[in-house]
Amino acid sequence: MSELDGRVVAIAGVGGGLGPLVAGELAAAGATVAGTDRDQALLDSLAGELAIPAERWDGRAVDMLDEAAVGQWCAGLVERFGRVDGLVHLVGGWRGGRPLHEAPLSDWDLLHDLLIRTVQHTTRAFHEQLAASEHGRFVLVSAKQAQAPTNSNAAYAAAKAAAEAWTLAFADGFEPGGATANIVVVDAILTPRMREESPGEDFPTFTPAEQVAEAIAFLCSDAAEKMNGQRLRLTMGR
């Protein structure tokens, strides 16, 4: 029997560089995977690439900035599968590289929506399902910048820090011994596409996407049932 047999795990942002690996890892552990992104065609092609049986896959395009649409996504999954046991938040984005006093505040507007608002919408929509599950799990992927911000990435660091704070508050709302919410922290993620595009590059401080996917699967498993409101660091140094 696999670690996640019989569990339904939703993935927000499954179409990104990390998403397919996470979906594959969870499916290999026995989970039914429900992925969402903005592009239905991408989700349809992803289903074929991952070779997950149709009865264990659900791909629906959802506007994560529309709270009602996120609620409908959750309701649709409950209608099809009867419950949702886990939610993995992979919606991401980056703007930065300029000094704080020069960077446009429009960067903050974009990152606020991508990195904070989507976390708010998903946690609110799925709270009831996760709290009711015997194996309720929420996992957020975050960045070292949240705890060690740099001047040239102020908006990104602040948005990530806010998303982490929201996740830790979400964790605090669960009963002891019940559902959990945890954070995987990376410096940056090395995706298969990055390896293909830069085959000679070493990427010494990047965390391989495969390792991030394994960490997420661990946090969704019974082996991590005692972890709640924790940061699992996959970073170099402090």
CA atoms within 13 A on the CB side of 164: 22
Helix (H) or strand (E) holding 68: helix 67-81
**Quick one: pLDDT at residue 237?**
57
- φ, ψ of residue 14 to 5 degrees: the values are -70, -15
**Quick one: pLDDT at residue 208?**
87
- φ, ψ of residue 143 to 5 degrees: the values are -130, 150
Tokens 């505040």 locate to 105
**Which pLDDT band holds residue 96 (cuts at 50, 70, 90)?**
confident
User: What digits encode the pLDDT tens for the residues 149-170?
Assistant: 999 999 999 999 999 999 999 9
Measured over the CA atoms of residue 75, residue 78, residue 80 and residue 84, the dihedral's sign is positive
Instruction: Using CA atoms of 130, 136, 141, 143 in order, give the dihedral in degrees to the nearest 10.
Output: 100
* Spatial distance between the Cα atoms of 215 and 189, rounded to a whole number of angstroms: 13
* Spatial distance between the Cα atoms of 10 and 75, rounded to a whole number of angstroms: 12
Helix%, strand%, coil% for the chain, nearest 5: 45, 20, 35
User: What digits encode the pLDDT tens for the residues 55-81?
Assistant: 999 999 999 999 999 999 999 999 999
User: What digits encode the pLDDT tens for the residues 113-152?
Assistant: 999 999 999 999 999 999 999 999 999 999 999 999 999 9
CA atoms within 13 A on the CB side of 33: 30
20 token code pair = 């397919």
**Quick one: pLDDT at residue 238?**
55
Burial of 51 (0-12, 13-18, 19+ CB in 10 A): exposed
Instruction: Of 42-46, 96-100, 225-229, give the lowest mean pLDDT range.
Output: 96-100
* Spatial distance between the Cα atoms of 27 and 36, rounded to a whole number of angstroms: 15
Topology of the domain comprising 8-234: Rossmann fold (3.40.50)
